[in-house]
Structure 1
Amino acid sequence: TLAVFVPIAFMDGIVGRFFYQYGLAIVLSVSVSLLVALTLTPMLASRILASGRVSPLFRPLEAFWDSVDRAYAGLVKLAVRLRIIVIFIAVASVVAGAWYAARVPSGFTSRADRSEFQGSIELPLGTGMVAALDAAQKSDAELRKIEDIEDVFISVGSGAQADIHVLELYASLTPKQARQTGQFEIMDKARKAIRIASPEAVKISVLEVPWVGGTTSGSSDIDLLLRGSDLNSLAQYADSLVREMRANPNFADVRTSFESGRPEAQILFDRRRAGDQGISARALAETARIALGGLDAGTFEADGKRYDVRLRLEEDQRESVQDFSRIQVRGADGRLVDIGAVSRVQFASGPSQIDRSDRARKISVLASSATGVSLGEATDTLLELLEANPPPVEVAYSMGGMAERMQETAGAIGFALLLALIALYMVLASQFNSFVQPLVIMVTAPLSFSGAFAGLYYFGLESSLFAQIGLIGLMGIVM
């Protein structure tokens, strides 16, 4: 038992946080039990058995255990006599276990009805506070119409960027025992209700509150990270992938982290004409920044009060392309030249922000697994879509979110099991002074796993982190 649980107590990452306390608790309890068995138990046995007194329960218990011993001995003799049949049953059990294991859905943590969910409503860029509050009130009223939703809380501008157009929501449900509808069916109703209340919303997500990784609505089951140098290429591929995922029933709340449509003024610098006037791009940009954005020029004191002085063009002088073109910048010879003479000014729309990862531009494709679909199934479906519609050569991708943690967990659990088996073999080999006899004991592990996977399959459970903790515990007990 110690050989199994000592290695898993020192695993890395999020999985290690779960297994550290679990492994140490088992190791310490078994160590104390071993100490008691080697020291206290022999001493007490020598004193109690030396008295010669027999408890009234001794003879019935002795008769019972003698019958168990005889039955076990008879079963062993029968197994040895019918060893071909026993070997066939064992092999069939292992094959059946592999069949069940291949059909048990996989996930990071089990999806549980905890009578709560969270989400976000993203309105078009540029939405004002009044419109955002109106959308929040309508969504709140529509959600409260759903039976079994007990309370709803919607906040405006409380996301990571504090954007007014992003609404964060949290809903609590009536206790599980007091309702007939499951949490995930209610979440499906909530998605439809929000779409009715806020038809102008560009992105809607309704998620279960995660076991691990915080409680912000930005977390998702699947977070596909696309990286590349060309933002337009990233956005085009992300949009095409989002369309395919939305058409697939295994996904819900499909969206991207890329937001476009924010109004902006673009000044397209003409280096040849600017060079003739002796104007650098830096001087032009600095002048435009001060004229449009303003510059803190100092302070002004009057009547004992201090006022900040900020230089900036009047609002009616910075409203149109013509206004921008008339902003003057000083050339190398000291003459003032209109920006429109050395550049082209135009209004356009651009991204609200540009995210980066590993010094490359990135866009995340976010999604949740649909109701009744495991995270493993959704991840496999996404990989199939990526294989059928591969990204351009200049675009790289990697998995994130709960899907990434699930993959990390599978690798960490596999390594822990391998390490535990090696340590167990070494302990048994030294104990039996044989390299073959330990293998006889260790082949019982696959037989125990067959029953475990059969239980997961018939009860409709996922092979999640908690199920894998149970598998390791089972191996420690069997060995």
Structure 2
Amino acid sequence: MQKMDSETIMGGVEMPVGTVVSQTRQQVKRLNDFALTLPEVKNVQMFVAMQVDLQGGGGAEMQSHLGQLVLELRAADKRNADGQRSSDELLSELREFSRTLHGVNSVSWDSMNGGPGGRDIHIKVSGPDFEELTEVAKELQQTLDSYTGVFDLDDDHDEGKREMTLRLKETARPTGIDEARLGTHIRSALYGRESHRISRNREDIRVMVRYPEAYRASLYHLESMWIPTAVVAGVRSWVPLNEVARFEPGEGFTAVHRSQRQRAVSVFGAVDSEVADSSVVVNRVREDFDNKIAPNYPDVRIEFLGNFEERSKAFGSLWIAFPVVLVLIYMMLAGLFRSYTQPVVVMAAIPFGLLGAIVGHWITGNPITILSEIGFVALAGILVNDSLILVDFINRRIRLGENSFEASVSGARSRLRAILLTTLTTASGLTPLMFETSFQAKFLVPMAVTLTYGLIFGTALTLVIVPSLNLVFLDTKKLAGFEDDPDDQ
């Protein structure tokens, strides 16, 4: 499943959580300026403090540490005619330049292609213990990093901002201080509490009372804070904060992801189609996880999403559609010939046509895509037409009194012109599409190759193989003691 030469490249920039917009803009601007120096780039769109999912559901994530670039390239056929680089070659150069950026968590590049959407590698790790999930995510990234052709590895677990968690000590209970009183007082000191409102120009302005900015920015002043106790006998006391609560430093969450009501961490990656295949990489990861990682983390499970999931859905439906098509064709032919075995002779052209389609992809150098697979299903119905005309004509000649051999030879000779004209007119109509070089038409070229080469290859064999198989069928029928009329069984 090779990728085609794309005309759009997308880049995602992720800075450390909490980075101000100006610093994010500075790094994205460096990438933007470098992209404009490439002769193959026609236009660049720069997004700061947001990322848009252009290949998935179209959602957007807006945070100060995120950035995105969308590069519009010259048309693929014009770049090819001028000897310029392909989208894959440009991706390699952009990744090399991205490695020179400092203070950046990750920079990922991808090209916009047709077919199933999603990332090449998208592994969701879920389980009850979040610490185990992060460890498994790291081990998966190390495993993927050892594979040839895998790059742009990242996960969606980012280190959050530093935070301080306050937990009450047992000594706080006699003072009447509980979590609600503690939280209310600290919030009032840092965020503020509304004392009153004043009206100005028909608008209400809230007046907030809180600590001075210098105190609010210092952890020392937080630890030195005094907390009011509950009122006892009309008297309120004050106690130091560090005597009723303990401080636990930690980090906050940038986002919380879940799968099946359990915490989850996703691992992402890209695959160079010239070096490796994403389906092969996914299968290797599954084996390595089952053999090396899963025994140490029995409660952790993984699922493969992204391009692998979408492609599995697409090809899964074809695995159902193709047998259904064959059964329907067989049922209609069985009703026409009033035979259970002669429809198999007519349908014998289908495997040869599929072989011709595969050879056609090899000759033209086109990848076998999802549209090629859809073309296989359509080809099965088209190939039966020529075989049906030929076998029906042979049956008619036999009913007129000719023996089976003479009927097969004269039938193939008489129907040669009609079969060839049917195939050539269809192939001639599809041939211009095969030589179309525009990016939009390239998605349909594999289907045109499937139909054209499958028809030509299948027709050539139909004129030789189908009459021969029909003779075998008729001779077997005689040996079995049935009537000579092929429609009487």
Same fold (TM over 0.5): yes
Map 1:431-470 onto structure 2 (within 5 A).
431-470=336-375
Say if 2:42 and 2:74, in contact at 8 Å, map to a contact too: yes
C-alpha spacing 1:429/1:292, structure 2 compared with 1 (3 Å): farther
Q: Which moved more, 1:122-131 or 1:384-393?
A: 384-393
Residue 125 of structure 1 and its aligned partner are, at CA, apart by: 2.0
1:173 equivalenced with 2:76 (yes/no) = no
Residue 241 of structure 1 and its aligned partner are, at CA, apart by: 1.3
The separation in 1 between residues aligned to 2:230 and 2:284, in whole angstroms, is 59
The equivalent residue for 1:275 is 173
The equivalent residue for 2:86 is 182
Map 1:320-335 onto structure 2 (within 5 A).
320-325=218-223, 326=225, 328=227, 330-331=229-230, 333=232, 335=237
- Listed one character per residue, the Cα deviations across residues 228-281 of structure 1 (whole Å, up to 9, x for unaligned) are 2222211111112112212322312111011014222222343x3343433333
Say if 1:250 and 1:369, in contact at 8 Å, map to a contact too: yes
Say if 2:229 and 2:238, in contact at 8 Å, map to a contact too: yes
Residue 364 of structure 1 and its aligned partner are, at CA, apart by: 0.8
Say if 1:120 and 1:206, in contact at 8 Å, map to a contact too: yes
Unmatched runs of 5 consecutive residues or more in structure 2: 52-59, 385-489
The separation in 2 between residues aligned to 1:347 and 1:153, in whole angstroms, is 40
- Listed one character per residue, the Cα deviations across residues 339-395 of structure 1 (whole Å, up to 9, x for unaligned) are 422321143334322212221111111111114133323323333432343341121
The separation in 1 between residues aligned to 2:256 and 2:191, in whole angstroms, is 20
Residue 458 of structure 1 and its aligned partner are, at CA, apart by: 4.8
In structure 2, the residue corresponding to 1:389 is in which secondary structure? helix
The equivalent residue for 1:344 is 246
Map 1:9-48 onto structure 2 (within 5 A).
none
1:306 equivalenced with 2:217 (yes/no) = no
Q: 1:227 aligned to 122, 126, 139, which one?
A: 126
The equivalent residue for 2:31 is 139
Q: 1:359 aligned to 239, 249, 261, which one?
A: 261
In structure 1, the residue corresponding to 2:61 is in which secondary structure? coil
Q: 1:117 aligned to 2, 5, 9, which one?
A: 9
Q: 2:335 aligned to 430, 434, 442, which one?
A: 430
Q: 1:151 aligned to 43, 55, 63, which one?
A: 43
Residue 304 of structure 1 and its aligned partner are, at CA, apart by: 4.0
The equivalent residue for 1:207 is 110
Say if 1:374 and 1:462, in contact at 8 Å, map to a contact too: no
Residue 116 of structure 1 and its aligned partner are, at CA, apart by: 1.7
State the one-letter code of the partner of 1:268: R
The equivalent residue for 2:439 is none
The separation in 2 between residues aligned to 1:170 and 1:472, in whole angstroms, is 37
In structure 1, the residue corresponding to 2:293 is in which secondary structure? coil
Residue 186 of structure 1 and its aligned partner are, at CA, apart by: 0.8
State the one-letter code of the partner of 1:322: Y
C-alpha spacing 1:435/1:361, structure 2 compared with 1 (3 Å): same
C-alpha spacing 1:172/1:303, structure 2 compared with 1 (3 Å): closer
State the one-letter code of the partner of 1:394: D
C-alpha spacing 1:303/1:467, structure 2 compared with 1 (3 Å): closer
C-alpha spacing 1:423/1:303, structure 2 compared with 1 (3 Å): closer
In structure 1, the residue corresponding to 2:103 is in which secondary structure? coil
Say if 2:16 and 2:159, in contact at 8 Å, map to a contact too: no
Q: 1:315 aligned to 213, 223, 226, which one?
A: 213
Aligned length: 365
C-alpha spacing 1:173/1:296, structure 2 compared with 1 (3 Å): farther
Q: Which moved more, 1:361-370 or 1:177-186?
A: 177-186
The equivalent residue for 2:277 is 374
The separation in 2 between residues aligned to 1:243 and 1:410, in whole angstroms, is 30
Query: Larger relative contact order (C-alpha < 8 A, sep ≥ 6)?
Result: 1
Say if 1:128 and 1:165, in contact at 8 Å, map to a contact too: yes
Residue 148 of structure 1 and its aligned partner are, at CA, apart by: 1.8
